[in-house]
Amino acid sequence: MKNMNFQVNLQGVIDLLSNHLYSEPGVFIRELLQNGVDAVTARKRLGHTFDEAVKVEIYSSHNISFTDNGCGLTEDEIDQFLARIGGSTKRDDQDSADDFIGQFGVGLLSCFVVSEEIVLITRSALEDDALEWRGKPDGTYSIKKLKRQVPIGTTVYLKAKPEFEEYFEYYRVSELLEKYGQYLPTTIMLVEDKFERTINESKPPWLLDKPEAMAYVEGITYNKPLDIIPLTSLIGGVNGIAHILPYAVSLQDEKKHRVYLKNMLLSDRMNNILPPWAFFVNGIINTNSLRPTASREAFQENDLFFAVRDELGECIKRYLIELADRDPDLFRRIVLIHYASIKTMAVEDDELYALFVRHLRFETSYGELTMAEILRDHKELLVTPTLDEYRQVARVARAQELMVINGGYVHDLDLVRKVTELDEDIKVDILNTLEFANQFEELDLEDKLTAQPFIDQSNALLEDFQCRALVRWFEPADIPVLYNTNQDVNFFRLAEESEQQANALFADVVRVIKDDLYDVPYAKLCFNYNNPMVRKAMEARDPHLRKASIELFYTQALLLGNHPMGPAELRMMNDSLLQFMNRGLDGAEVNR
């Protein structure tokens, strides 16, 4: 018997494995499965004919064994494979590397996380000697030849550390074997007290037809998916499915793609195997070509990885393009459920924009419409940067047969501005609300002369409120006045209020901003000469009555447009209302 030491600080490696490399202690099950399946693969490459199997047996006192009838190990291979971290025998034949799940030769050491000793009995398919290898976490190990004969293959024996006994219980071992090895081609047997069952009897989800896949996903997620998208990548040897989530998800939510390497589960929480824009699906994917990281819980992010991810993204895009024609109702459901996130991604991805924008809905002066409905009848579009600006013009815009779109909701402004990329005949302009009234019909000379005293009086009254008046003829006639402002006007008014209320130092700062950055901007109050009440007010000879009319028109326009009113404007509204009430009551008959 030979007593030797590992060629590494093993205790440090065990700490690295348990606290940093592996996500949970139960991965030792996966590592032993991987080693057993790889050993079977290696023996098949030798041309041997046998009933390939990996048997996991649970004993009393929290002992467990993993047995495979694979190629086994020679003494030289034990020294090379088990004593040198990272020195895997599978590296000797690079041409055949893709036949194996593992690549690093550290998997067996994961057993030290849950066990104080690893005992390995092996017989190589190339030699007759049976060997026993015992390793301990203090860095020592021994090798001895056995006098008894054993079958070709390898058996690993483990006894649980007290704090990890749960991982040696039947229910937990069974759960982990199913999790990692349910779809492996090699038969996986679980045995306890002569009770034996086969773990991997299921058909992999990537080989199911659509109805079977729908039922499978519903069974594991308890939600029926909207649809199933087949995924393939020739360069990555990928087959899989993506199931469309039937509920809205945030772009920040953790993605939970289930990914297999050569039919063994690598991770059920991989977040980067599909493009970031594919937030509305979860994938179940098997690959034969991508390289795992040392933990075998993710893939190396090399050129091949990103090429595969792009190819899988193309599968999803092609499906959506075909679905829009084949099943428009389902396509609309997908858009409706994932609306907010689709808008976000469409802004950033030109292909997704072209795919989705015609199906996105926008608030317009003609009601809520999809972009397809908007473009069907209009090639010239106006869009407002804010919700407040849209509200100022929406009702009047339709009467002028103008298509005005509310760009005040998240991403809507950018989505509308990009629509020119779909068709060079489409024109999109940002609506300048202060110039909006200029397109209304002007008055003839006689009417201008009639209205001018009223406009002059309005300008004098509204100067302190940074508002100037004009008069136009527009539809609908029941709107007497239209108040238009923009962000510059609102900022300037806010700055003035701050200047009046702030201390001297802050007031000086506000004054500098006002004086240096802006010419004084003015809101516009457009009187509708088409409105009978406006006509009467303009023709009134009593200047006090005209003043009250102007004040009431102005404050009512602020209320109807959801504009904030300061103390002076509130007083103005109350005074003008009381004046009209007094006039009305003075002229009314009094009951005695």
How does pLDDT run across 59-72, given as a tens digit for each residue?
A: 989 999 999 999 99
| Burial (CB count within 10 angstroms: exposed 0-12, middle 13-18, buried 19+), residue 136 | middle
Two structure tokens written together for 360: 């996105």
pLDDT at residue 89, as a whole number = 46
Amino acid 344 reads T
Give me the mean pLDDT over the 13-19 stretch: 55
* % of the chain at pLDDT higher than 90: 58
**Of the ranges 18-32, 115-129, 310-324, which one carries the lowest mean pLDDT score?**
18-32
**Which carries the bigger pLDDT value, residue 324 or residue 589?**
324
**8 A C-beta contact, residue 125 and residue 68:** no
3-state secondary structure of 443: coil
- 294 vs 248: CA distance, rounded Å: 35
Give me the mean pLDDT over the 28-33 stretch: 91
Amino acid 244 reads I
* % of the chain at pLDDT higher than 70: 85
Give the mean pLDDT of the chain: 86
pTM, two decimals, is: 0.74
- 515 vs 89: CA distance, rounded Å: 78
Q: Is residue 154 part of an annotated ligand binding site?
A: yes
| Burial (CB count within 10 angstroms: exposed 0-12, middle 13-18, buried 19+), residue 478 | exposed
Q: Is residue 31 part of an annotated ligand binding site?
A: yes
pLDDT at residue 5, as a whole number = 58
**Which carries the bigger pLDDT value, residue 228 or residue 513?**
228
pLDDT at residue 163, as a whole number = 92
**Which carries the bigger pLDDT value, residue 571 or residue 5?**
571
**8 A C-beta contact, residue 312 and residue 303:** no
**Of the ranges 22-31, 122-131, 316-325, 540-549, which one carries the lowest mean pLDDT score?**
22-31
**8 A C-beta contact, residue 428 and residue 416:** yes
**pLDDT at 96 > cutoff 90:** no
Q: Which residue has the tokens 């005005």?
A: 404
Highest mean pLDDT among 6-20, 87-101, 483-497, 562-576: 562-576
| Burial (CB count within 10 angstroms: exposed 0-12, middle 13-18, buried 19+), residue 2 | exposed
**pLDDT at 564 > cutoff 60:** yes
Give me the mean pLDDT over the 580-590 stretch: 75
Sign of the alpha-carbon dihedral angle for 85, 90, 93, 95: negative
Residue partners of 222: CB distance under 8 A and separation at least 6: none
Domains of the chain: 2-198 (3.30.565.10), 205-327 (3.30.230.80), 334-437 (3.40.50.11260), 439-486+521-586 (1.20.120.790), 489-516 (no CATH)
**pLDDT at 55 > cutoff 90:** yes
Of 333, 337, 436, residue with least CA distance to 394: 436
**pLDDT at 244 > cutoff 80:** yes
Give me the mean pLDDT over the 453-459 stretch: 95
Amino acid 378 reads H
- 237 vs 225: CA distance, rounded Å: 25
pLDDT at residue 583, as a whole number = 83
Give me the mean pLDDT over the 139-165 stretch: 91
**pLDDT at 36 > cutoff 60:** yes
What is the phi/psi pair of residue 531, to 5°? -100, 130
pLDDT at residue 494, as a whole number = 56
Q: Which residue has the tokens 């594919």?
A: 278
* Number of helices and strands in the chain (H, E): 19, 22
Of 233, 230, 227, 193, residue with least CA distance to 208: 230
